[in-house]
Structure 1
Amino acid sequence: MHTTGGAAEAVAGREPGAAASARRPVVPYHLITALDDPHTRVPVPERRYIARSADGLRTVLLALPHQGRDPDLFLAEADASRYLLGPCAAPADALAGPGEPAWYSLPYLPVLPLPTVLAVHGGPLPELTVRALGAALAQTLAVVHGQGLAFAGVSPAAVLLSAAGPRLTCYGAVRAAAPNGAPRSGLPGLEAGSLPPEQASGSSPDFLGDMYALGAVLAYAATGYTMPERDELPAALRTIVARCLSRDPGSRPQPAELADALGDVTAADDRAAVLGPGWLPGRVIAALAHQSAAVLAAETPAAPAPSASSRTPTPSSPSRN
Structure 2
Amino acid sequence: MPVPDTGTSARGTRQIGPYTVVTRFDAGVPAQTPVPEHRFIARSADGDRTVLLSRPVAGVDPRRFMTEADTSRYLLGSWVLPAVELAAPGEPPWHARPYLPALPLPVALTVHGGPLPEPTVRALAVALAENLVVMHGQNLAHAGLCPSAVLVAADGPRLTCFGAVRAATPDGVARQEAPGLDPGSLPPEQGAGGQPRPLGDVYALGATLAYAATGHTMPEREELPPALRSIVTRCLSRDPAHRPQLLDIIKELTGCHQPDALGGFAPPTRADAFLGPGWLPARIAAAIVHQSASVLAAETRVREKPAWPSDGAPSPAPVSHHSH
> Do they superpose with TM above 0.5?
yes
Stretch of structure 1 that moved more, 241-250 or 256-265: 256-265
Whole-Å Cα distance in 2 between the matches of residues 222 and 178 of structure 1?
Answer: 30
Q: 1:4·1:31 contact (CA, 8 Å) conserved in 2?
A: no
Whole-Å Cα distance in 1 between the matches of residues 273 and 135 of structure 2?
Answer: 21
Q: Are positions 1:277 and 2:277 aligned together?
A: yes
Tell me what 2:211 maps to.
220
Tell me what 1:318 maps to.
none
Tell me what 1:16 maps to.
12
Q: Are positions 1:34 and 2:38 aligned together?
A: no
Which of the numbers 282, 300, 303 marks the counterpart of 2:302?
300
Alignment: residue pair count: 289
Whole-Å Cα distance in 1 between the matches of residues 109 and 248 of structure 2?
Answer: 26
Which of the numbers 101, 116, 121 marks the counterpart of 1:110?
101
Q: Deviations over 1:85-132 (max 9, x none)?
A: 112111110000122110001101101000000000000000000000
The aligned amino acid for 1:128 is: P
Whole-Å Cα distance in 1 between the matches of residues 30 and 229 of structure 2?
Answer: 30
Q: 1:53·1:59 contact (CA, 8 Å) conserved in 2?
A: yes
Root-mean-square deviation (CA, aligned residues, Å) is: 1.6
Q: Counterparts of 1:77-88 in structure 2 under 5 Å?
A: 77-88=68-79
Q: Are positions 1:89 and 2:80 aligned together?
A: yes
Whole-Å Cα distance in 2 between the matches of residues 99 and 295 of structure 1?
Answer: 30
Q: SS at 1:105's partner residue?
A: strand
Q: SS at 2:83's partner residue?
A: coil
Q: SS at 2:184's partner residue?
A: helix
Q: SS at 1:192's partner residue?
A: coil
Shift of 1:74: 0.5
Q: Counterparts of 1:226-245 in structure 2 under 5 Å?
A: 226-245=217-236
> Structure 2-normalised TM-score?
0.86
Q: Counterparts of 1:3-82 in structure 2 under 5 Å?
A: 3-5=7-9, 15-16=11-12, 25=15, 27-36=17-26, 37=28, 39-82=30-73
Which of the numbers 3, 6, 11 marks the counterpart of 1:2?
6
Shift of 1:39: 4.6
Q: 1:29·1:52 contact (CA, 8 Å) conserved in 2?
A: yes
Q: 1:263·1:274 contact (CA, 8 Å) conserved in 2?
A: no
Q: 1:52·1:300 contact (CA, 8 Å) conserved in 2?
A: no
The aligned amino acid for 2:273 is: A
Stretch of structure 1 that moved more, 255-264 or 126-135: 255-264
Tell me what 2:289 maps to.
289
Which of the numbers 183, 191, 194 marks the counterpart of 1:200?
191
Structure-2 change in CA distance of 1:129 and 1:45 (3 Å): same
Q: Deviations over 1:173-207 (max 9, x none)?
A: 00001000000002221101100011100000000
Whole-Å Cα distance in 1 between the matches of residues 185 and 16 of structure 2?
Answer: 34
Q: Are positions 1:124 and 2:124 aligned together?
A: no
Whole-Å Cα distance in 1 between the matches of residues 197 and 16 of structure 2?
Answer: 36
Tell me what 1:174 maps to.
165
Gaps of 5+ in 1: 18-22, 304-321
Whole-Å Cα distance in 1 between the matches of residues 170 and 159 of structure 2?
Answer: 22
Whole-Å Cα distance in 1 between the matches of residues 29 and 151 of structure 2?
Answer: 16
Shift of 1:2: 2.8
> Structure 1-normalised TM-score?
0.86
Q: 1:32·1:51 contact (CA, 8 Å) conserved in 2?
A: yes
Q: Counterparts of 1:118-197 in structure 2 under 5 Å?
A: 118-197=109-188
Q: SS at 2:111's partner residue?
A: helix
Gaps of 5+ in 2: 257-264, 308-324
**Identity value in percent:** 60
Stretch of structure 1 that moved more, 101-110 or 269-278: 269-278
List, as ranges, runs of 4+ consecutive aligned residues in structure 1 with deviation greater than 3 Å: none
Structure-2 change in CA distance of 1:203 and 1:129 (3 Å): same
Tell me what 1:312 maps to.
none
The aligned amino acid for 1:229 is: E
Tell me what 2:317 maps to.
none
Whole-Å Cα distance in 2 between the matches of residues 289 and 236 of structure 1?
Answer: 30
Whole-Å Cα distance in 1 between the matches of residues 134 and 267 of structure 2?
Answer: 9
